A and B are shown apart, each in its own frame.
Chain A
C-alpha cells in the first residue's frame, strides 16, 4: 500500500522529465517534390524500389506475382536501371509498420476501403501530382474507365487499379449433378440460390452454399444490387441503414438461419469448397487458379455464375482487389516507380496477372487479343462472366478520413452480427451507421 503510494510519487516526479523529452522530439518532415518532374535513371547504378504486396504472401497468387516482378527486373528494369524488391505483406499491416519505422516503402498493393486514410496519414501521393501529365494520359488509355474511377479521391488519382476482380459464384459440378441440378444452368437469383442450396443439402448431405458474413466486400455488392448504398454519394455519411439495405441483409440472414448458407469464416469456407464439400461459394475470381487446381485434384469440374440478383434487377457487383499506391521520396525514385507502374499495368503486366493469378485484365481488349489473353479466356469461360460484370461494377466504399479502418470494422461487424445473431437487422445496422457517422471527419 505504502509502496504503491510511493510509486505514484515517483511517477509524478518523473513525469515532468518525460513531458520535456516528448515536447522536444522534432518532426522529421520529408521534403516532397511538388512538380511533376522525373529524375534520370542510371542503368549502371540501378535504383531500388520496394513493392509491398499481399499477393506475394498467398500461395495461390505468389508464383504469378513473383513472375511479374522478375520479368520487370529482367527487361525494363535492366534496361532503364530499376530493381524492384517484393515484400510479402500477408496482413496488410507491414507497410504501415514499416512506414512508421521510417523505411522506404515505395509502392504498395493497397486495398480500396482504407485508401483515403492511408493518403491522409501515410504520405501516399497523387499520380497527377508526381507523374508527367502527357505520359500518364497516354498510359491510362485502354484501361476500363470504370476501373480508373475507383482509385480517385476528390478528383485525384491516389491509386491505379491493379489487381482486380469481381465476385462470382464458384460451383462444384459434381455436387450439383449429385443433387440432380445442372451446373451449366446455374442459379441467377437469390431465391434460386436458396432452393438449389437446400436441394444440394438434402440430396448430398453436404452444404449447398457459402458466403462468409465477414467477407467484407461481396456484402456491398449485395446491398447495391438491391438498390441500397453503403456510403452516401458525397462520402460524408454512411447510408447502409436504408430499407433496401435492410431487405438485402435480411434475405441473407434468412438464408443463413435456414441452413442455406454454411457457417464459417471466409478462409474456412474456402477450405471447405476446395476440399469438395461445398456446392457453391461466392468469392473473388482471383482464387480461380487455386480453385481449378483443387477441382482437378479432387476429380470434379469447376463451374461459375455471376453474382446473384434480386428479382429481375441485374446485380451490381463491387470490385475486390487493389490499386497501386505510391510514395516515392525523390525525383529519381519517382522515375523508377513510374517505370514499374507502367510495366505492371501495361499489356504484358495484365497478361501475367490474369493468366498466372486469376485477376481481371483491366485492359479489356486483351481478352480478344490473340497475342494477349484470347486463348486463355476461351479455355476459362469463367472470365467472360467477370468481364461482363465489369460493365455493371461500382466502387467499393472508400471510408473517408483518419478513422477509415475503424469504420470499415464497424461496418463489417454490424453485417456479421445482423446475419448471424438473432438481433434485429434494422436496429443493428442503424446503430452501426450512427457510430460511423460519429467518426466522420
Chain B
C-alpha cells in the first residue's frame, strides 16, 4: 500500500486517540464522580481517593431505580416486538405481491419521514388521555407500535431474498403464511435481529413522548425518572452521577457484547 513515514502514522494515531478520549472521557468522568465522597466531589481529582458507594446507596433509596429499569426494559421490548411484528407483515406484503394501491402505500410510508413528532404530539396526547392511558407504560408504547423506518428497512432486505426459493416453496404447496414464518424469517433472522437491536436502542433512548406521558417515577422509564431527579435535586452531583451511571449501564453492556452487530445494524439501516 502507501508508504508512510512513521512520524506521519504516529501523528495520525495521536489525533485519533485524542478524539477517542474526547468521545469517552465524559463517561469516565461520570463514573469517577459517582465514586467520590462528599468532600472530594467538588475537587477535580482524576481518581477517587477513597472510592465510596455511598452515592449509589443514596440514589437507590431516593429513586425506585430497579422499578424504573424494569419499566425501561418493558417499554423498549414491547416497542421493538410490536414494530418488528407489524413491519414483517407489511414488508412481506410489499415484496410478495403486486396489488392496487401499492404506490399509495409507499407514499404513505415515505411521507412519515417528514412528520416530526412535535407536530403530532398534541392529538396523540389527547388520545392517550381519552383512553385513560396517561402515566402508563402502554401509553408510552402505543404510538410507537409501528415504524415506517422498520418497514422500509425490512422491505429492502426481503427484496434481496432469492425469489427462486419462494417459487419452489410455493410449488411444494406451502401457504403464504408459512413462506413468511418458515422460509423468509428463519433465513433473514440476522437482519431482523440487528434491526431489533437498533429499534431497542432507539426505544430506550426515546425522550419527548415518555416525558409527556410519565408522571410518576414508578411509571417512568429510567431516563425520564433520571430527568425528574436532575430537575428536583440540587447539589447532589455525586448521587446524580451514580444514577446516571446506572442508567447508562444496560446499554453499555449490550454494546460491549454486541458491538459488531450494533455498528453493523446502524450502517445497514441508518437512523430515524
A, B in one complex: yes
Pair A102/B129 contact, Cβ less than 8 Å: yes
The contact string, 1 if C-beta is below 8 Å from chain A, for chain B 71-115, is 000000000000000000000000000000001101110110010
Using CB atoms, name the residue of chain B closest to A6: B107
- In the bound complex, what is the Cα–Cα distance between A271 and B235 (angstroms)? 6
Name B126's closest neighbour in chain A (CB-CB).
Answer: A100
- Report how far A100 CA is from B125 CA in the complex, Å: 10
Q: Chain B residues near A101: list those with CB within 8 A.
A: 129, 134-135
**Which applies to chain A's interface (DSSP): helix, strand, loop or mixed?**
helix
CB–CB A3/B111 < 8 A: yes
Q: A101-B134, A275-B42 are in contact. Are A94 and B235 (CB under 8 A)?
A: no
Contact A6:B232 (CB < 8 A) given known A94-B215, A98-B215, A275-B42: no
Q: Does A58 contact B (CB under 8 A)?
A: yes
Which residues, 247 to 269 on A, are CB-close (under 8 Å) to B? 267
Contact with B along A15-57 (1 / 0, CB 8 A): 0000000000000000000000000000000000000000001
- Report yes or no: B231 in contact with A6, Cβ–Cβ below 8 A: no
**How many A-B residue contacts, CB cutoff 8 Å?**
52
Interface hub of B42, B103, B232 (most chain A Cβ within 10 A): B232
Of all chain B residues, the one with the shortest Cβ separation from A294 is B235
B-side interface residues toward A, CB under 8 Å? 42, 103-104, 106-108, 110-111, 114, 129, 134-135, 212, 215, 228, 231-236
B129 touches A6 (CB 8 A): no
Q: A3-B106, A97-B215, A98-B215 are in contact. Are A271 and B234 (CB under 8 A)?
A: yes
User: Which one, A6, A88, A267, contacts B104 given CB within 8 A?
Assistant: A6
* Cβ 8 A contact of A59, one of B134, B212, B232: B232
Q: Which residues of B sit under 8 angstroms from A271, Cβ to Cβ? A: 234-235
Q: Is the CB of B215 within 8 A of A267?
A: no
14 example contacts (A-B, Cβ-Cβ < 8 A) are as follows A3-B107, A3-B110, A3-B111, A7-B111, A58-B232, A59-B234, A90-B232, A91-B231, A94-B215, A100-B129, A101-B134, A267-B234, A270-B234, A270-B235
Q: CB distance A274 to B235 under 8 Å?
A: yes
Q: How far is the CB of A15 from chain B (nearest CB, A)?
A: 13
Residues of chain A touching chain B, judged by Cβ–Cβ distance below 8 Å, are 3-4, 6-7, 10-11, 57-59, 88, 90-91, 94, 97-98, 100-103, 267, 270-271, 274-275
Structural contact, A275 and B235, CB atoms closer than 8 A? yes
The B interface is mostly helix, strand or loop, or mixed, namely helix
The 7 closest A-B pairs by CB, nearest first: A7-B111, A6-B107, A7-B107, A90-B232, A101-B134, A3-B107, A101-B129
Residues of A within 8 A of B104 (CB): 6, 10
Asked whether, in the complex, the Cβ of A7 is within 8 Å of the Cβ of B108, the reply is yes
A94-B215, A97-B215, A275-B42 known; A7 vs B110 contact (CB < 8 Å): yes
Q: Is the CB of A57 within 8 A of B234?
A: no
Chain A residues, CB < 8 A from B215: 94, 97-98
Q: Does the CB pair A57–B232 fall under 8 Å? A: yes
* Chain A positions within 8 Å of B111 at CB level: 3-4, 7, 10-11
Tell me which residues across on chain A come within 8 A of B228, comparing CB atoms.
Answer: 90
Shortest distance between the CB of B195 and any CB in chain A (Å): 23
Residues on A with beta carbons closer than 8 Å to the beta carbon of B129 = 100-102
Residues of B within 8 A of A91 (CB): 231
Name the residue of chain A whose CB is nearest to the CB of B133.
A101
Min CB–CB distance B13 → chain A (angstroms): 39
Residues of A within 8 A of B110 (CB): 3-4, 7
